[in-house]
Structure 1
């Protein structure tokens, strides 16, 4: 019996190739999206779930409770050490301080090899590896990183540096400052971890590398300073946070005791908490899940629309079968068999599409997702079974209940083949979702364009940034003189970071010798006197800095003045002390506000001050017409000054564009899903117009016999779908406004959602629908009326 069902089903599908093809394409698109979204969601949910006792692992974090609550995934360096020394709540407590884009060099006997490691290095206490499960494949876990000068690297880096040679015992050098002997090889880090450093160094060398300024500094938070704790069994998070409050009260005074707070963040929250630098927000994963579910359901709906539209064409076949003795259940299972064949082909095609698309998805997310076929096979099987019965049941029941006499006489009515109103509702729903996606795409594009084209308060174009490995006075002066002789260079500034940067160092501030520090922090920018002219930052009061090697005076921004409730001219000459009062001097100028980070974040109070020892970068304004020769000359000059270093540079405009990487990923996803939703929606629309065409065949024939022209016949279809699309727009517009309004709240500086966005959406939807409806309507409108009416 089953073999017979399949054989007949295959013949029917071969006879109706267009119907079968459209059904397969719709289901394949929906299921391919389902497979990819399932893979993406399970990939992110698996992050850092492989550690032992993950429910007892926490990360120390910092919160500042003032005018608003600000959070950081880092803590002052001494916090974890003090917690370990004063309390016994933690089974293990481990600190790690990381630095990105570090230089690693070593001598292989013939030459000095140089590698710029983007993920950098981490000075790490041994306890870190007792908390997190990163196993060694070589070396002694009991002694690793316990002595100064020790390093462990991953197997991947060992092969990259030394090939087939044994890396154990090899010596590497960090930034040409400190040497380390490799005493352990780590198993390659799993792809589903947020820990990215592949070089771990003895924490005992941290003070040597940095000069020791952070080790006892409770008042500053370096973004790379993290600490983890494995709580003892039975110890609660609340108990540990109460102990942290005691530490705060002991080490902070006055207002700071209320402002500064230290908390514990669960391990399973790290990947998802956007406020604490998490990569993936769970609300977006849930949104993806429902999008995938919707696409699969709408593909099934399209199948139902197309199948029931074909029902009249099969009425005589059904009538003959019933006369020959077929029972309703036989007809039902016959149609289920047809659906199963279509679904099987769609699953195969979906698998191929998913395989082809996964590398693009990995490139978009900078990830290494892979298909785990054991999990996927279960997902695909369950989905396929649901799709078969969801798609096949209703059309099968419709066919099975045909009255044989009416079927053979072609006297079936609309009631016999299923209601039209349900299809209207489904098409409205499909196009409402499509319009929401279109509106979302337009708004994300507009916000990104706004972020890229709005005046930042400084010049980002034609600025080349490159590192300064040595920043003593003599080296800086020599480099400045040599760069000044290169044609095509218009200006040079030495600084810690450009005006807008991810490396924003924030510290406490004391204004005008007040006894208490202000209850907000200030962003320190170390820079020379050419900083303003190189980046074209405007002064609004006072003067520029005088050339100096040390901090003797300050520039501040307009936001600083507003925080104090003063006018720019009122702060000129007043004393300013920052960084624990280690740097102090008069304010000599106020600069116009500029964006010191992305548009997601409010402009912070800023102070600009000279300090040669902190000039880790050089900013060069170049003439882009001679960029190629100028960049070559810069490289030659730099390499002759720092022959032991590895040269690299980047354009400031490219660095700023990276602030919006996540938004670009979101845009790509929204555009892709919008396109797929539109395609599936169009297939649903085609199913509905096909159904209408079958239902109105004789009406169209009568109208044409009575003299109706082509336009009036086409309008029979057009007026129906114009109504449906307008209803879809009325539903979609407020939902899209609400969703995108919430999205824009993530930007402190954002666009206004105007009516033009909605007009573009409805116009594009009408254009797409007109093409879809027009094709099928034209076929019906140009049919010879003799054929339509001959049964009469």
Structure 2
């Protein structure tokens, strides 16, 4: 019986090639999107789930309760050590300090190799590798990183640095400051981990590498200073949080007792918590999930549309089958067999499309996703069963209910094949989904354009950023003089970072000798006297500070003044103290507000101060007409100033674009899925117009005999689709507004959702629909009325 079903189904599909092809393409596109979205979601859900006892592994984080609630994945450097020594709640606790963009130098005789490691280097306590499961291939796990001067690296880094040579015992030099001997080789990190660093060095060298005061500093938080712990089996998170509250009582006084809090973050939350530098917010994964479901539903709706539109063509076939004894359930399963064949072909094509698209998805996300064949097979089986019965059940029931006498006499009406209203509902559903995605894409594009073209409060164009690896006053002075002589160079400034940067320092602030610090922190920016002119930052009160090597004067921004409920002139001459009152100086000027983060974050209170010890960037404003020669001269001067370092540079506008990388990824995904939804929707429209053309064959013939022209006939189709698209728009507009209003809440500075966005959406949809139905409508309108009136 099953063999017979399949044989007949194959014959029917061969006889209706256009119907079969359109159905297969629609389902293949929907299923391919489902496969890719399923792979993307399972990949992100798998992050760091391979560690032992992951439910007992936590990362400590800092929470401030002051002027609002602030959070950081970083903690004061002594926190992990204190938790480990003062309490017995954990099996293991380890501190790790991450630094990025480090220079690694390897010397072999006269041969010197330099490598810039963007993912950075981690100063690591040895217990870290007991907490997290990163297997050691070479070396003794019991002694690795216990002594100062040791390093362990991954297989990939070992091959990069030493080729086929044995890396054990080799020496690497970090940032021309500290030497480390490699004592272990780690297995390459899996792609589904947020721990991207591949070079780990002894924590005991921290004081040698950076400020010695960090180990006892409870007042500062560096985002790269993290602490991990694995609790004992019978210890709850509440117990551990209570213990850390006791640490606050021990090491803080006064108002800080209420401001500072330390808590535990579960390992499986690290990848998803945006407040703590997580990569993928779960709400976006849910959005992707629903987009995938909607696309598969859209493909199924398209199939139902096409299948029921074909029902009239099969009326006599069904009538003859019933007369010859076929039962309704046999006819139902016959159509299910046809649907299964179409779905099977669609699945094969969908798998091929998925494998072809996966490299592009990996490139977009900078990931290394691969298909898990077991999971993929289960997903395909599940989706295939759902699609077969979701798509095939209704058309199968419609065909099975045909009355044989009416079918044989060609007297079936639209109510016998499910009615035209159902197909209207299906088309409205398809285009509602499409218009939601179109509106979403337009709003994301508009917000990104606003983020990149709005006035940032400073000039980001034609500014080259060069790193400063050493804070040597003589070298910096000489390099500045030489750069100023380069053709095309307009301004030069030394600073910690440009005005808007992903790397920022915040500290407490005491205004005008007040006994207590303010209830908010201040963002500190070291910059010389040319900082304002190089970046085009404007003064609104007072003056610029005088040239100096250390902080003797401050500039503050308008937000600082607003926080104090004062006017710009009121703060001129007043003193402020920062960094635990270690730096104190008067305010000499107030600058116009500028964005120091992305548009996702509010403008902070800012102070700008000279201090050559904090300079890590040389900002050079150039004339782009001389860009090529200027860049070559800058490279030569830099290499002659720092011959032991590795040269690199970046344009400021490129640096700012990195703020919105995830938004660009979201845009590309929405654009792609919107395009696919529109294409599937167009196939559904084509099915509906085909059904209308069959149903209205005689009506069109009568109208043409009575003098109707082509325009009148086309309007028969046009007015129907105009109504449906308008209904779809009425449904889609509020849904899209709600979804995108929530999306824009992630931006502190954002566009408004105006009527123009919805107008563009509906116009684009009408144009696409007109192109889709135009061809089939014109064929119906141009048909010979004599043949139309003779049709059965």
TM-score (norm 1): 0.99
Q: How many angstroms does 1:385 deviate by?
A: 1.8
- Structure 2 equivalent of residue 219 of structure 1: 219
Count of aligned residue pairs for this structure pair:
792
Runs (4 or more) in structure 1 with deviation over 4 Å come to none
- Structure 1 equivalent of residue 198 of structure 2: 198
For each residue in 1:517-543, what CA deviation from the matched residue of structure 2 results, as whole angstroms up to 9, or x when unmatched? 111100110111111111111111111
For each residue in 1:248-283, what CA deviation from the matched residue of structure 2 results, as whole angstroms up to 9, or x when unmatched? 122222221111111111111111111111111111
Does residue 25 in structure 1 map to residue 52 in structure 2? no
Q: Is the 8 A contact 1:522 1:605 kept in 2?
A: yes
Q: Is the 8 A contact 1:255 1:519 kept in 2?
A: no
- Structure 2 equivalent of residue 510 of structure 1: 510
Q: How many angstroms does 1:105 deviate by?
A: 0.7
- Structure 2 equivalent of residue 737 of structure 1: 737
For each residue in 1:421-461, what CA deviation from the matched residue of structure 2 results, as whole angstroms up to 9, or x when unmatched? 12211211211111111111111111111111111111100
CA distance in 1, matches of 2:315, 2:732: 38
- Structure 2 equivalent of residue 531 of structure 1: 531
- Structure 1 equivalent of residue 302 of structure 2: 302
User: Matches of residues 475-514 of structure 1 in structure 2 within 5 Å?
Assistant: 475-514=475-514
CA distance in 2, matches of 1:584, 1:87: 38
- Structure 1 equivalent of residue 253 of structure 2: 253
- Structure 2 equivalent of residue 357 of structure 1: 357
CA distance in 2, matches of 1:509, 1:743: 34
The answer for unaligned runs of 5 or more in structure 1 is: none
- Structure 2 equivalent of residue 566 of structure 1: 566
Q: Is the 8 A contact 1:499 1:594 kept in 2?
A: yes
For each residue in 1:467-520, what CA deviation from the matched residue of structure 2 results, as whole angstroms up to 9, or x when unmatched? 111112111111111112211111111111000001110011111111111111
CA distance in 1, matches of 2:167, 2:24: 54
Q: How many angstroms does 1:97 deviate by?
A: 0.5
Secondary structure, aligned partner of 1:630: helix
For each residue in 1:101-136, what CA deviation from the matched residue of structure 2 results, as whole angstroms up to 9, or x when unmatched? 000011133511000001000101111111111110
- Structure 2 equivalent of residue 450 of structure 1: 450
User: Matches of residues 357-436 of structure 1 in structure 2 within 5 Å?
Assistant: 357-436=357-436
Q: Is the 8 A contact 1:60 1:75 kept in 2?
A: yes
- Larger mean CA deviation between 548-557 and 597-606 belongs to 548-557
For each residue in 1:205-250, what CA deviation from the matched residue of structure 2 results, as whole angstroms up to 9, or x when unmatched? 0111012132211111111111111111111111111111111122
TM-score (norm 2): 0.99
Secondary structure, aligned partner of 2:105: strand
- Structure 2 equivalent of residue 575 of structure 1: 575
CA distance in 2, matches of 1:791, 1:50: 67
CA distance in 2, matches of 1:246, 1:487: 61
Q: Is the 8 A contact 1:554 1:588 kept in 2?
A: yes
- Structure 2 equivalent of residue 56 of structure 1: 56
Secondary structure, aligned partner of 1:590: strand
Q: Is the 8 A contact 1:94 1:127 kept in 2?
A: yes
CA distance in 1, matches of 2:477, 2:373: 61
CA distance in 1, matches of 2:675, 2:436: 12
CA distance in 2, matches of 1:257, 1:566: 28
User: Matches of residues 625-774 of structure 1 in structure 2 within 5 Å?
Assistant: 625-774=625-774
- Larger mean CA deviation between 168-177 and 406-415 belongs to 406-415
Does residue 318 in structure 1 map to residue 318 in structure 2? yes
Q: Please report the RMSD computed on the Cα atoms of aligned residues, expressed in angstroms.
A: 1.2
Q: Is the 8 A contact 2:301 2:430 kept in 1?
A: no
CA distance in 1, matches of 2:479, 2:196: 34
CA distance in 2, matches of 1:405, 1:368: 61
- Structure 1 equivalent of residue 619 of structure 2: 619
Q: Is the 8 A contact 2:305 2:426 kept in 1?
A: no
- Larger mean CA deviation between 779-788 and 15-24 belongs to 779-788
CA distance in 2, matches of 1:776, 1:559: 62
Secondary structure, aligned partner of 2:216: coil
CA distance in 2, matches of 1:534, 1:574: 26
Q: How many angstroms does 1:74 deviate by?
A: 0.8
Does residue 122 in structure 1 map to residue 122 in structure 2? yes
For each residue in 1:30-87, what CA deviation from the matched residue of structure 2 results, as whole angstroms up to 9, or x when unmatched? 0000000000000000000001111111111111112311111111111111111211
- Structure 1 equivalent of residue 285 of structure 2: 285
The answer for unaligned runs of 5 or more in structure 2 is: none
Does residue 785 in structure 1 map to residue 785 in structure 2? yes
CA distance in 2, matches of 1:332, 1:767: 38
Secondary structure, aligned partner of 1:213: helix
CA distance in 2, matches of 1:287, 1:453: 28
Secondary structure, aligned partner of 1:152: strand
CA distance in 2, matches of 1:31, 1:369: 18
Q: Is the 8 A contact 1:320 1:408 kept in 2?
A: yes
CA distance in 2, matches of 1:5, 1:701: 38
- Structure 1 equivalent of residue 346 of structure 2: 346
Q: How many angstroms does 1:724 deviate by?
A: 1.1
- Structure 1 equivalent of residue 72 of structure 2: 72
- Structure 2 equivalent of residue 12 of structure 1: 12
Q: Is the 8 A contact 1:698 1:789 kept in 2?
A: yes
CA distance in 2, matches of 1:624, 1:186: 46
Q: How many angstroms does 1:784 deviate by?
A: 1.6
Q: How many angstroms does 1:346 deviate by?
A: 0.6
Q: How many angstroms does 1:100 deviate by?
A: 0.6
Q: How many angstroms does 1:320 deviate by?
A: 2.2
Q: How many angstroms does 1:781 deviate by?
A: 1.6
Secondary structure, aligned partner of 2:499: coil
Secondary structure, aligned partner of 1:238: helix
Q: Is the 8 A contact 1:298 1:680 kept in 2?
A: yes
Q: How many angstroms does 1:18 deviate by?
A: 0.9
Q: How many angstroms does 1:752 deviate by?
A: 1.0
- Structure 2 equivalent of residue 180 of structure 1: 180
- Structure 2 equivalent of residue 608 of structure 1: 608
Secondary structure, aligned partner of 1:481: helix
Q: Is the 8 A contact 1:495 1:615 kept in 2?
A: yes
CA distance in 2, matches of 1:145, 1:189: 18
Q: Is the 8 A contact 1:158 1:185 kept in 2?
A: yes
Q: Is the 8 A contact 1:180 1:201 kept in 2?
A: yes
Q: How many angstroms does 1:567 deviate by?
A: 1.0
CA distance in 1, matches of 2:747, 2:271: 21
- Structure 2 equivalent of residue 208 of structure 1: 208
Q: How many angstroms does 1:791 deviate by?
A: 4.9
CA distance in 2, matches of 1:235, 1:7: 64
Secondary structure, aligned partner of 1:214: helix
Q: How many angstroms does 1:12 deviate by?
A: 1.6
Q: Residues 323 and 110 (structure 1 numbering): CA distance in 2 closer, same or farther, change over 3 Å?
A: farther
Q: How many angstroms does 1:773 deviate by?
A: 1.9
Secondary structure, aligned partner of 2:164: coil
CA distance in 1, matches of 2:296, 2:260: 49
CA distance in 1, matches of 2:23, 2:407: 25
For each residue in 1:739-790, what CA deviation from the matched residue of structure 2 results, as whole angstroms up to 9, or x when unmatched? 1111111111111111111111111111111111222222222222222221
CA distance in 2, matches of 1:396, 1:727: 28
- Larger mean CA deviation between 729-738 and 2-11 belongs to 2-11
Q: How many angstroms does 1:8 deviate by?
A: 2.2
CA distance in 1, matches of 2:404, 2:437: 45
- Larger mean CA deviation between 631-640 and 9-18 belongs to 9-18
- Structure 2 equivalent of residue 102 of structure 1: 102
- Structure 2 equivalent of residue 554 of structure 1: 554
